[in-house]
Structure 1
């Protein structure tokens, strides 16, 4: 029986776990009411019986907690890590692929963890903005929490959570390395909000400046970076194709 152990069964990893179980895998992991991360005996027991290991745990206080606590037990032939396209930093809207340098952006700890997983022979999945059921522009629009920010030229990429799961499955027999999993149409956030308003049948929020929007520091930092993510390597090497190639198909699937 093929067995996958996942560190951090949160929103994205839980979708991956469900997809893997549908493929006939046994899946265990930490978080989400499963094995407590701090229970070393049970975690190490789970790792000892696993054939594959995937981590979705981000760095905390500058340290990757999985590598720090369980790195000595990660001797598996297949390792996976859910990273972020934030490792590329700001590219002023230019396209970026896996050959681009990392570590120059605001997520230095994430870039260091990304590099360490690669050194350990992992498949590293670099993810842009993640959306899906219960976590999308449609939800923010319906809750009255959506913003349209007046930042001409600001562009970013996104990916439906189910397409991440399909990408991980596609990489089970793939070479070690980094893979960008993003959709085919990077665009400004305003276009996504406007489409969500159209689908939900509600008025668009007003167009505001960054200062007028009074965003949280984390949300404001999101707008400080501007890049288009290329998914060409994932298509070429993994044979992966997003089932939701743009935000339009993705949002329609959530109505």
Structure 2
């Protein structure tokens, strides 16, 4: 049995690939969800302790996919349940983000790189990782931390904004972003579920860190649109620069997921990913 805390974009795509296990997932939007799978039950987050207690002998996998707040992980803060009571638990997956690395001047970061984040989101992620790591060491829990690059895919991409032409293109040469297509992300999580290696950290990103310019140029040429609004990053105010996604420059290495999990990406770069997105929109 799989328990998922946070039935968001990633979790929805993940469960669509799992038909052989019973799944519980939490969501605050129970009335607006359409569930087409018989093996999944959606519950309010407040019901989590009851479900964990009731199925403590059946739950084998636990996925935490809710973003943290300033005090760290929401699951650990609000759920009054001792996880070591899940006696058949084989795998915990905490979905973190590469924002914990902060700025590395455009250099590659691996799972052992220094965590230099100064952003509020990155600091919250790092705090949540620390909380999970401490708990896992205390109770010998099978923790796996996934530091995920920018997630994109159907219904989560910049294609629509470019097509609307109401889009300002911020230009900053030599500033790299890493990303991962949703299908590859869920394949990697499932691969780890099937090959647990407790107390592991995995970067999840594709093979091609790239500038935002490269991505926009590629999409624009594919759909024959010219982006009229261009702004040089250097002309933004200091406040706008700090608050923008351009405050941290790094390339994320995915070597470990290939070596340990045998991952072969379906969408190794933004080109394959946006080819698929454009095809789905036609």
Flag whether TM exceeds 0.5 (same fold): yes
Hey, what's the Cα distance between the residues in 1 that align with 2:55 and 2:208? 38
Q: 1:111 aligns with which of 126, 142, 146?
A: 126
Of 220-229 and 230-239, deviating more is: 220-229
SS for the counterpart of 1:190 is helix
> Whose radius of gyration is greater, 1 or 2?
2
Please tell me whether residue 28 in structure 1 is matched to residue 24 in structure 2. Answer: yes
Hey, what's the Cα distance between the residues in 1 that align with 2:206 and 2:228? 25
Please tell me whether residue 58 in structure 1 is matched to residue 67 in structure 2. Answer: yes
Hey, what's the Cα distance between the residues in 2 that align with 1:109 and 1:171? 24
Q: Aligned in 2, Cα 1:218/1:6: closer, same or farther, shift over 3 Å?
A: farther
Report Cα offsets for 1:75-131 as digits up to 9, x if no partner: 333100110000111001000000112254321121121233234141111111110
Please tell me whether residue 78 in structure 1 is matched to residue 91 in structure 2. Answer: yes
Hey, what's the Cα distance between the residues in 2 that align with 1:116 and 1:84? 15
Of 62-71 and 238-247, deviating more is: 62-71
* Unpaired stretches in structure 1, ≥5 consecutive residues: none
Hey, what's the Cα distance between the residues in 2 that align with 1:36 and 1:138? 33
SS for the counterpart of 2:17 is helix
Q: Aligned in 2, Cα 1:141/1:130: closer, same or farther, shift over 3 Å?
A: same
Hey, what's the Cα distance between the residues in 2 that align with 1:66 and 1:46? 18
Q: CA deviation at 1:211?
A: 7.5
Q: Aligned in 2, Cα 1:232/1:41: closer, same or farther, shift over 3 Å?
A: closer
Q: CA deviation at 1:140?
A: 2.1
Of 198-207 and 237-246, deviating more is: 198-207
Q: 2:163 aligns with which of 111, 119, 142?
A: 142
Hey, what's the Cα distance between the residues in 1 that align with 2:126 and 2:192? 21
Q: 2:102 aligns with which of 68, 86, 89?
A: 89
User: Over aligned residue pairs, what C-alpha RMSD do you find?
Assistant: 2.3
Partner of residue 190, structure 2 = 169
Q: CA deviation at 1:221?
A: 3.1
Q: CA deviation at 1:205?
A: 3.8
Partner of residue 253, structure 2 = 230
Partner of residue 17, structure 2 = 19
TM-score scaled by length of structure 2: 0.81
Please tell me whether residue 99 in structure 1 is matched to residue 112 in structure 2. Answer: yes
Hey, what's the Cα distance between the residues in 1 that align with 2:55 and 2:234? 48
Q: CA deviation at 1:41?
A: 5.0
* Unpaired stretches in structure 2, ≥5 consecutive residues: 31-41, 137-141
For the 8 Å contact 2:72–2:131, the answer to whether it is kept is no
Task: Give the paired residue count.
Answer: 250
Q: CA deviation at 1:135?
A: 1.0
Please tell me whether residue 239 in structure 1 is matched to residue 262 in structure 2. Answer: yes
Partner of residue 44, structure 1 = 52
Hey, what's the Cα distance between the residues in 1 that align with 2:18 and 2:73? 25
Hey, what's the Cα distance between the residues in 2 that align with 1:103 and 1:39? 36
Hey, what's the Cα distance between the residues in 2 that align with 1:170 and 1:199? 33
Q: Aligned in 2, Cα 1:16/1:146: closer, same or farther, shift over 3 Å?
A: farther
